[in-house]
Chains A and B, each alone.
Chain A
C-alpha cells in the first residue's frame, strides 16, 4: 500500500514538472490551454453556491463553508 501511494505521489510530482516545463517553454500558448480548466472550476462552484443560496439557511451555510475552508 505504501508503495502504491509513493508511486501516485511521484507521478503527481512528475506531472507538475512536465506542465511547468511546458509553461516555461511555451509562454504564448499555455494560457489558452489552462483557461478552460480554471474557469470551469469557478463556474461550477458558482453554480453550486447559487443553488445552495436558494435553500433554507443556504446563505448561512455558505458563510460557514467559506469560514471553514483554508483559502489560498
Chain B
C-alpha cells in the first residue's frame, strides 16, 4: 500500500465513522454522498483500484459506499 493509498483509506474510514450511528444503509448512502461531493476523480479511481486489489484496512461502510459509487462514476 502506497502512502497515497494509505491516506485515502484513512480518510474514507474517518468519514464512515462519522455516520456510524446511523442505520447501516443510511450510513452507506451518507458516506457515498459525501465522497461524491468532495473527492476528486483520481482519488476515487485510486481507492476503487485498491478495493479491487483486496482493499485491506478499509472499513465496511466506506467500502460499500465506494462500490455503490463506482456504478455511477463519471468517465
Tell me, yes or no, whether A binds B. no
* Contact surface of B with A, Cβ cutoff 8 Å: none
